Structure formats: structure tokens, C-alpha cells
């Protein structure tokens, strides 16, 4: 069997790429290791930045993917319990992110692709990339040849590992911070809420009309926070969010979130192109992980379409550099944001604690700093 592009992995990166190629009339086959319900139920990211959302608008997919999504208008930052409101769109001429939980995005992308006749195969095991220059892919019970492979199979996938190690440079950074997240049946906040305090960082985000997702910083190397008694979790949230009346509710999910960064360079080798988490991992501060995955998919879709439809291959060698520039820009932003909200904790060096406060104050006293922060939150424009 042969096709133009084989896409490995049906996460946000692979499904976005599949839809964009389909819209452009490029043949592709998506191979996904897990089953459909696993892919559809995975809860992770929740915000499409302005330019992430524009990818779908430009492709004529906004009705299918983002039509009814609420806009991200306000962020509340509570510093030792004192509220500060940051209205991002007021600083960006109205550009704002939209709130689209990953499960919803993935379900809609999947349905749109399959309903339009897309070839998406679930439960495909033992995928191997046999040849990257004249792509040949084998899997349990099948074999495909293609002009190009898109490695969209996440950090633990096989695509990046199919590149000879001496052809890749990898950068890894451990932020030295633990993050614990719980999903609870507790009324959502009016706005995205972050608490900065000497007790440590905490955040609360709406997850539908009845539920909230909370995040709590913890000291890595100590007791596993998933074993914390619920009362302790609620006490910590009340202290850090500065709200002694925060209503408790049943906790339905407990997870550890990794706070580490990773970048592999370059993002391509011969006719294999890596996109999304297969090439880079970013900390959740700033909510850029999913947006980077979509940005890669958009740049790759343009380059592959030009090559396969118009015979213009110039976008393919440029793909890696274009994506890496945005990746490092967002990595820097995420690290900057991470420091600002975590260095206030009692475990921090006192000098860094003061710097974190200065960084925070600048956002509310210096209009240029506010505009820059809002601009990064909304996302930076696409290169044309």
C-alpha cells in the first residue's frame, strides 16, 4: 500500500496535520497505537492561543473545531491572597486565546477527518520506520510506502528514536519543581486563577459548569502528593489561593505533571518530520504545549502541500528552523512565567523571591511589560 504522507500518532499534532492535508487534497494515512476511546478521553491541555485558533480559521475549519469556544478574557493572579486582574485582550487589540479542552479538540478533529473520508487506523502495533529517505513503514499486519513521514507520536513515540542519535542534538532541563493536579467537583472560578504565595504556587481552572482542575506545586523528592489526605490538599489550596472559604468537593482524579523541558534539533531527518511532543516538551505555564504542536502541524502541512501539489520543495528544508524559532521563544516565555509564580515560595532563595515579586509588579505598573505578557499569552503571529 502506498500514500503521500504517513502520519504516526493521532494526538493534537497528528490530527491537525491530517485535517490540513485532507483540506488541501493530499493523501495521508494516520497510524495510532491506542484505541479511539483512549485518544478521545485524554485530558491535558485546554487553551488555544489566538494564532493556534487561527490555523483552523484559515483552513475553513473554525465552525467544526472552535465555533462555540469561550474566549480567554481575564487572568486573576493572587499574590499572598491579594487579587490582581490581568485583562490580556485589552493589551493586544482584542487578540485572545479560546478555551478548548484537549478532549473536545481531539474529538472534533477526529470526527471531521473521518467524516470526510480520512484513513485513520487505531490500535496499530509495532510500527517501525524502516527507511527514512524512501519512506517504508511496517507494523503488525501491514506495510506502507510514502513520500514523507510525519512523526507526531509524542515524547515516547518511535519516530524521534528512528533518527540516528548522532544526527540529533537534544536539550533537556529539569525545573526542579513538582506539580500535582486534581480534578474536583467544586464550583469553577470566574476567571483562570493563579495563587502566588510563600506556601507555594496553586492554580484553579474551570472544567465545565460544575468542576475545577487545581494545580499545586510540591517539593520533588518528598512524599508523593497523590497520597496526601484530601483535607490537606484543600487546606493547601485555601492557603495558596488566599480563600479560606474555597468549597471542597469530591476529588475524581489525581496526577503528577512533569515540569521539564526538552527540545530535539533538528526536527527533521531525510523525509521524516517531527511535530509536537515528539520534538519538544514545554512546561504547562503559559499553556503553549498544544499550541506548539498545532503550529508545527500548520507549517508542515504548508510545506508538504507545496511539495506534493505544487512541486515546490523549498518549505521542507526550512521546516525545522521555522518551528524551532517558535519553540525556543515559547520555552523562554514558559520558563519566565514559571519563575515568576514559583520563586515566591518559602523554599526559594530569598534573592530570587524578591526578583519574582519585581517581575510580578512590573506587569501591573509598566504598560510595555503588560503588553508583552499579553502578547505572549495570545501567541505571536505566524511567519507568512
Q: Which stretch binds ligand APR (CB under 6 A): 64-72, 147-155, 180-188, 216-224?
A: 147-155
- Among candidates 300, 67, 259, which has minimal Cα distance to 292? 300
**Residue 298 or 343 with smaller CB distance to ligand APR:** 298
* Structural contact between residues 304 and 311, judged by C-beta atoms closer than 8 angstroms: no
For ligand APR, the binding residue among 32, 49, 72, 343 (CB under 6 A) is 32
Q: Which of 277, 298, 339, 375 binds ligand APR (CB under 6 A)?
A: 277
Cβ proximity to ligand APR: between 44 and 71 the closer is 44
Sheet harboring 169-174: ordered strands across?
169-174, 260-265, 280-281
Using CB under 6 A, which of 9, 101, 200, 345 touches ligand APR?
9
Please report whether residue 274 would count as binding ligand APR according to CB under 6 A. Answer: no
Q: Which residues, 6 or more positions from 178, have their beta carbon under 8 angstroms from its beta carbon?
A: 217, 218, 219, 220, 225, 256, 259
**Contact between 11 and ligand APR (CB under 6 A)?**
yes
CB of 60 to ligand APR, least distance (A): 22
52 is an interface residue for ligand APR by CB under 6 A: no
Q: How far is the CB of 267 from ligand APR (least distance, A)?
A: 12
- What would the grid cell of residue 263 be? 527540545
Which DSSP string corresponds to 270-338?
Answer: TTEEE-GGGTEE--STTS-HHHHHHHHHHHHHHHHHHHHHH---THHHHHHHHHHHHHHHHHHHHHHHH
Q: With binding defined as CB under 6 A, does residue 45 bind ligand APR?
A: yes
Q: Phi and psi at residue 6, in whole multiples of 5°?
A: -100, 125
Beta-carbon neighbour count of residue 151 at 10 Å?
30
Tell which one of 23, 24, 27, 34 touches ligand APR (CB under 6 A): 34
102 near ligand APR, rule: CB under 6 A: yes
CB closer to ligand APR out of 46 and 242: 46
Question: Which range touches ligand APR (CB under 6 A), out of 115-123, 207-215, 271-279, 316-324?
Answer: 271-279
Name the pairing type of β-strands 47-48 and 98-99. antiparallel
Q: Choose the stretch contacting ligand APR; rule: CB under 6 A; options: 37-45, 189-197, 238-246, 372-380.
A: 37-45
357 Cβ contact list (under 8 Å, min separation 6): 79, 344
With binding defined as CB under 6 A, does residue 14 bind ligand APR?
A: yes
* x/- letters, 247..266, toward ligand APR (CB under 6 A): --------------------
**Exactly one of 58, 74, 158, 256 binds ligand APR (CB under 6 A); which one?**
158
Reported as type and span, the H/E element at residue 131 is strand 128-131
Q: Is 4 in the site for ligand APR (CB under 6 A)?
A: no
| Residue 99 sits in the site that holds ligand APR (CB under 6 A) | no
Residue among 368, 358, 379 nearest 91 (CA) = 368
Query: Cell numbers of 209, please?
Result: 459548569
Distance CA 14, CA 16 (A): 6
Binding residues for ligand APR, rule: CB under 6 A, are: 8-14, 31-34, 39, 44-45, 102, 127, 152-154, 157-158, 276-278, 289-290, 293
Amino acid at each position: 500500500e502506498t500514500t503521500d504522507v504517513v502520519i504516526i500518532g493521532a494526538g493534537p499534532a497528528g490530527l491537525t496535520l491530517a485535517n490540513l492535508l485532507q483540506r488541501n487534497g493530499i493523501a495521508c494515512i494516520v497510524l495510532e497505537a491506542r484505541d479511539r476511546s483512549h485518544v478521545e478521553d485524554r485530558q491535558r491541555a485546554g487553551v488555544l492561543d489566538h494564532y493556534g485558533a487561527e490555523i483552523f480559521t484559515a483552513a475553513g475549519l473554525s465552525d467544526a473545531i472552535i465555533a462555540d469556544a469561550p474566549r480567554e478574557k481575564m487572568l486573576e493572579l493572587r499574590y499572598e491572597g491579594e487579587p490582581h486582574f490581568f485583562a490580556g485582550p485589552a493589551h493586544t487589540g482584542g487578540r485572545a486565546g479560546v478555551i478548548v479542552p484537549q478532549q473536545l479538540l481531539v474529538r472534533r478533529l477526529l470526527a471531521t477527518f473521518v467524516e470526510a473520508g480520512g484513513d485513520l487506523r487505531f490500535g496499530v502495533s509495532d510500527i517501525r520506520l524502516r527507511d527514512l529517505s524512501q519512506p517504508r513503514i511496517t507494523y503488525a499486519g501491514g506495510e506502507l510506502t510514502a513520500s514523507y513521514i510525519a512523526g507526531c507520536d509524542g515524547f515516547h513515540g518511535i519516530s524521534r528514536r528512528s533518527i540516528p542519535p548522532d544526527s540529533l542534538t537534544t536539550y533537556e532541563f529539569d525545573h526542579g519543581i513538582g506539580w500535582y493536579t486534581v480534578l474536583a467537583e467544586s464550583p469553577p472560578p470566574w476567571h483562570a486563577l493563579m495563587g502566588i504565595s510563600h506556601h507555594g504556587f496553586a492554580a484553579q481552572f474551570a472544567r465545565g459548569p460544575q468542576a475545577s482542575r487545581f494545580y499545586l506545586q510540591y517539593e520533588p523528592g518528598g512524599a508523593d502528593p497523590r497520597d496526601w489526605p484530601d483535607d490537606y490538599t484543600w487546606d493547601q489550596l485555601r492557603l495558596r489561593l488566599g480563600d479560606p472559604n474555597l468549597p471542597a468537593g469530591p476529588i475524581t482524579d489525581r496526577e503528577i505533571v512533569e515540569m521539564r523541558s526538552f527540545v530535539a534539533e533538528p526536527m527533521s531527518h531525510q523525509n521524516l518530520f517531527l511535530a509536537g511532543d515528539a520534538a519538544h516538551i514545554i512546561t504547562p505555564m503559559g499553556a503553549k504545549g498544544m499550541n506548539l504542536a498545532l503550529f508545527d502541524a500548520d507549517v508542515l502541512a504548508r510545506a508538504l502541500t507545496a511539495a506534493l501539489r505544487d512541486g515546490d520543495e523549498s518549505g521542507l528544508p526550512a521546516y525545522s528552523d521555522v518551528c524551532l524559532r517558535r519553540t525556543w521563544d515559547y520555552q523562554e516565555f514558559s520558563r519566565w512565567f514559571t519563575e515568576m509564580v514559583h520563586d515566591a515560595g518559602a523554599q526559594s532563595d530569598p534573592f530570587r523571591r524578591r526578583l519574582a515579586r519585581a517581575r510580578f509588579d512590573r506587569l501591573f505598573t509598566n504598560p510595555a511589560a503588560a503588553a508583552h505578557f499579553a502578547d505572549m499569552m495570545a501567541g505571536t503571529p505566524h511567519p507568512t
